[in-house]
Amino acid sequence: MRKVACEREALIEQARKLREDERLTYRQIGERLGVGATTVNRWLNPDHAKKQNAGSVAWKHAHQEHRAAYASKRASSGVCSRCSGRMSLNHTGGVCLTCRGQDAETRCERIAALWGQGRTSTEIAAVLGTTRGTICSDIMRMREAGWDMPPRRRARQPSPKLVTT
Ligand SMILES: [Zn+2]
């Protein structure tokens, strides 16, 4: 055991010499001494290596705490009332994101169908139980998303302000 330690010391000394005298890279030193560049780095920067070790221990610890927190959050997260799928974190009631996405899709289809029937946004809002403003912004979003919802061309009443008396 003692001999091995001595040999290691000798190698480190040799590495230091190669570094200082010949200005070799860690990799080159490692090749000469038959070790990896990382080992050479550790030999020549013992303080740094120690710090790195401490850092990784601290990281591991923090990571474990993080994982434990995640696991407990996960365990307390709710179940979707529709598909019984696991809800995403921080959601405990109602339906999961997947179901909500499907709802949104269904809703868009309903809006598009009603729009295709020539219903006004006010009528669509009444059917879906929401406000006209919501429907208008939905329609705008849907158009941006590529839904085919041609704008209505309706004869508009002239605005009262434009009427001259
Ligand atoms: Zn669901």
**What is residue 137's predicted lDDT score, i.e. its pLDDT?**
95
Helices (H), 117-157: 121-128, 132-144
**What is residue 144's predicted lDDT score, i.e. its pLDDT?**
94
**What is residue 131's predicted lDDT score, i.e. its pLDDT?**
95
Q: What is the mean pLDDT of residues 129-143?
A: 94
Q: Is residue 155 part of a domain?
A: no
User: What is the Å distance from ligand 1's center to 50 Cα?
Assistant: 49
The tally of domains found in the chain comes to: 2
Q: Is residue 75 part of a domain?
A: no
Q: What is the mean pLDDT of residues 65-88?
A: 80
**What is the end-to-end Cα distance of the chain in Å, rounded?**
110
**What is residue 160's predicted lDDT score, i.e. its pLDDT?**
60
Token pair for 86: 């696991």
User: What is the Å distance from ligand 1's center to 71 Cα?
Assistant: 21
Q: Is residue 111 part of a domain?
A: yes
Ion ligand 1 neighbours (CB, 5 A) are 80, 82-83, 85, 95-96, 99
**Which pLDDT band holds residue 77 (cuts at 50, 70, 90)?**
confident
Residues 56 and 106 in one domain: no
63, pLDDT greater than 80: yes
Residues 104 and 58 in one domain: no
Q: Is residue 151 part of a domain?
A: no
Task: Please give the residue range of the domain that contains residue 56.
Answer: 2-63
Residues 6+ positions from 143 with CB-CB distance below 8 Å: 149
Give the domain-ending residue among 63, 84, 111.
63
Top-confidence residue, 148 or 1: 148
Q: Is residue 156 part of a domain?
A: no
User: What is the Å distance from ligand 1's center to 78 Cα?
Assistant: 11
- Provide the 10 A C-beta neighbour count for residue 50: 11
User: What is the Å distance from ligand 1's center to 84 Cα?
Assistant: 6
Q: Is residue 70 part of a domain?
A: no
User: What is the Å distance from ligand 1's center to 109 Cα?
Assistant: 19
Say how far apart CA 76 and CA 79 lie, in whole Å: 9
Q: Is residue 89 part of a domain?
A: no
Instruction: Report which residue type is found at 118.
Output: G
